[in-house]
Amino acid sequence: MTIRFGLLTLSDRSSRGERPDASGPALAQLIQTQGWSIARQKLLPDDEAAIRSLLAEWADSGEIDVILTTGGTGFAPRDVTPEATRAVIEREAPGLAEAMRAASLKITPHAMLSRVVAGIRKRTLILNLPGSPKGAIENLQVVLPVLPHAVQLLREDPQSESSH
């Protein structure tokens, strides 16, 4: 099964050209090693309205199965990714966020500061990931095993029942 991804990096500094985006390319590489595709990729500053708009546009396009955001999930005043995500999702998927936090707590106590959100808009799963390449990859690896089944369910694929 091919899963189509949208990758959205959220960083004021990277969007201003002050530092390269390391997380987006790291996530893209991991996704491609799974045989999945990157349908869209973008870098935005930490602007809640812009994030909301792009998440809704991508989810509503029907061209993306999973949107991964990286960045903007911490405690800094400009970290607004969870708020933007909650504003556009129709249903939360708390088990994914809980699993990522639980796994991360085994690595660092800083995982308690993560405010990642996971949810569904139409037939698209939206997952927030930390902004660091290491944290983003570690968190994505936690949920990778369930993504094919999640996408099957969202697509209402009759084969989704066979993988239980």
Query: Residue 20 pLDDT > 70, yes or no?
Result: yes
Question: pLDDT tens across 100-155, in order?
Answer: 999 999 999 999 999 999 999 999 999 999 999 999 999 999 999 999 999 999 99
**CA distances from residue 12 to 21, 23, 31, 66, 124 in whole angstroms, order as listed:** 11, 14, 24, 23, 26
| Contact in structure between 74 and 83 (CB atoms under 8 Å) | no
Q: Which residues contact 37 (CB under 8 A, 6 or more apart)?
A: 2, 3, 4, 5, 31
- Residue 161 confidence (pLDDT) above 90: no
pLDDT of 162 reads 74
Q: What is the mean pLDDT of residues 11-34?
A: 97
| pLDDT computed for residue 13 by the predictor | 95
Strands 37-44 and 4-10: parallel
pLDDT of 47-101, one tens digit each?
A: 999 999 999 999 999 999 999 999 999 999 999 999 999 999 999 999 999 999 9
Q: Which sequence spans correspond to the domains of the chain?
A: 4-157
User: How far apart are alpha carbons 35 and 150 in whole angstroms?
Assistant: 17
Residue 164 has pLDDT above 80, yes or no: no
Q: What is the pLDDT of residue 1?
A: 87
Q: CATH code for 4-157? A: 3.40.980.10
User: Cα dihedral sign for 148, 135, 12, 119?
Assistant: positive
Determine the Cα–Cα distance for residues 157 and 78; give it in Å rounded to an integer: 39
